């Protein structure tokens, strides 16, 4: 496989997971430290002849992922996230490489939650529209592909910038955190993604899959669970509405994904929140004062 965006949060986990399992993995990054220099903007695909016949899967981790930035800079982010990404998929198709595209729960409108793969996609954010546009291209133009939709990821590792991490660090510093009681989320351990991808690829599966932990809850409930798990005072969790935050774009309320398809077909068990918190406690939170699991 060749991982595009190999230095990103997800890309680096995929590279290290597959290499640790002995798979042949090539990496491409616009930052260096990878097998190939690859800048999505520049459309320079001159290394493709070198990899012809060697690579079966192209793992696309490149993206501008900031939701508000996509809204504020619609034109430039559309160029990167849609036009340039589709160009990459076209080249992969020319070279017989199967695209693996990471998409998002934001392709749904957030009015129902617990979305299945075949549910109607009606994005309400620019970022979601951009993800849907690439999904549409792949689904209509590629015979074999993986479109993998995910919820918000978190990790015990230090590069994590997830809401869970922010909550833990704030609580450890005795700072309260406003947590919306009207937005549902389904935080998913980032380290689960390469593991489930390995099974999907190993079994030559193709199509759309939701890669998401099973249990969903409101951000407020998540704050309470984090406080309870680490023994922080419950008062540090301040109840609010998601509309209290000054986002460039209104956030949908319930985009939680139903991952039963991937779980049934692969037997994979996603890590649930308390187990993920235990990992955070053990592996990375040692330096945070007061952050000791009950």
Query: Which residues lie near ligand NAP (CB under 6 A)?
Result: 5-11, 29-31, 38-41, 61-63, 65, 102, 104, 150, 152-153
- Which residues face 85 on adjacent strands? none
Report the distance separating Cα 14 and Cα 195, nearest Å: 8
Q: Is 104 helix (H, G, I), strand (E, B) or coil?
A: strand
Strand (E) or helix (H) holding 237: strand 237-240
- In whole angstroms, how close is the CB of 249 to ligand NAP at the nearest point? 16
Q: Which residue has the tokens 């590069």?
A: 159
What is the C-alpha R_g of the chain? 19
> Is there a contact between 254 and 109 (Cβ–Cβ < 8 Å)?
no
- In whole angstroms, how close is the CB of 164 to ligand NAP at the nearest point? 11
Strand (E) or helix (H) holding 154: strand 153-154
DSSP conformation class of 279: H
Q: What's the token pair of residue 158? A: 């230090």
- Which residues face 218 on adjacent strands? 184
42-to-16, 59, 133, 212 alpha-carbon distances in Å: 26, 19, 20, 33
């Amino acid at each position: 496989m060749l991982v595009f965006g190999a230095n990103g949060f997800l890309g680096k986990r995929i590279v290290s997971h597959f290499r640790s399992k002995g798979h042949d993995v090539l990496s491409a990054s616009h930052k260096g430290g990878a097998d190939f220099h690859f800048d999505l903007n520049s459309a320079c695909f001159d290394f493709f002849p070198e990899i012809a016949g060697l690579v079966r899967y192209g793992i696309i981790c490149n993206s501008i992922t900031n939701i508000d930035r996509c809204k504020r800079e619609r034109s430039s982010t559309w160029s990167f996230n849609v036009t340039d990404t589709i160009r990459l998929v076209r080249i992969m198709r020319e070279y017989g490489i199967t695209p693996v595209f990471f998409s998002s729960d934001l392709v749904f409108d957030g009015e129902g939650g617990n979305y299945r793969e075949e549910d109607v996609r009606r994005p309400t954010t620019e970022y979601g529209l951009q993800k849907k546009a690439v999904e549409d291209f792949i689904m209509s133009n590629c015979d074999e592909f993986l479109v993998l939709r995910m919820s918000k990821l978190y990790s015990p590792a230090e590069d994590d910038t997830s809401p869970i991490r922010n909550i833990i660090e704030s609580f450890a510093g005795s700072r309260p955190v406003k947590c919306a009681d009207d937005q549902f989320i389904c935080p998913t351990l980032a380290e689960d993604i390469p593991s489930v991808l390995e099974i999907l690829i190993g079994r030559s599966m193709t199509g759309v899959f939701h890669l998401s932990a099973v249990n969903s809850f409101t951000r407020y409930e998540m704050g309470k669970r984090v406080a309870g798990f680490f023994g922080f005072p419950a008062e540090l969790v301040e109840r609010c509405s998601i509309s209290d935050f000054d986002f460039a774009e209104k956030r949908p309320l319930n985009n939680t994904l139903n991952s039963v398809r991937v779980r049934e077909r692969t037997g994979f068990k996603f890590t649930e929140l308390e187990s993920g918190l235990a990992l955070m406690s053990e592996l990375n939170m040692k330096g945070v004062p007061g952050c000791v699991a009950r």
